[in-house]
Amino acid sequence: MKLEELKNKVRNVPDFPISGIMFRDITTLINDGEAFRFVIDQLHQRYRDKEIDRIVGIESRGFIFGGALADRLGCGFVIARKPGKLPAETEEESYDLEYGTATLQIHTDSIKPGERVVIIDDLLATGGTLAATTKLVERIGGEIAEIAVVIELVFLKGRDKLKNKSMFSMIQYD
């Protein structure tokens, strides 16, 4: 498989979850074993020599890619979740979405000060979710090596909220 072919594995769903939104559905990509393996192979190649201590996956689709990548790299996996889902002490950050607001939490003991972290999610849209996760990781002492997404909706300019952070995306929609 080639990187250019990966875009064809993403299903476009118009008017979901609300009218006017073109939803980029990665379930068709992860349902294709070759495509899913290709994504994880590409991420592994990118980070295998970067001395990464933790992968942070964002609820919920970031768990899919983040867990597989952490396993491949042999490093720890940390989850950023919606409120009320984590049982121990947490930090939290609220943010705006394209169509609402949300909050994420992370365990305060999940990353040690100075550990190198890659934050991963399936999609970068307006950048609120990733910016909130970045704040959480840094607040508990993590050093962000990079932010990685499978899909970037370039026209929404989410990178603007992630200034001064290294960013990697596999598929871009202009």
Residue carrying structure tokens 């899919």: 64
Which residues participate in catalysis according to the annotation? 61, 98
What whole-number distance in Å separates Cα of residue 112 and Cα of residue 163? 24
Task: Report how far residue 15's alpha carbon sits from residue 21's, in angstroms, rounded to the nearest whole number.
Answer: 5
Q: Which two tokens stand for residue 112?
A: 């040690």
**Burial environment of residue 10 by CB neighbours within 10 A (0 to 12, 13 to 18, 19 or more):** buried
Give the C-alpha separation, 145 to 150, whole Å. Answer: 17
Q: How far apart are CA 137 and CA 160, in angstroms?
A: 19
Kind and range of the H or E element at 33? helix 33-47
**What is the spatial distance between Cα 113 and Cα 106, in angstroms, rounded to a whole number?**
14
Nearest CA-CA partner of 159 in 119, 130, 116: 130
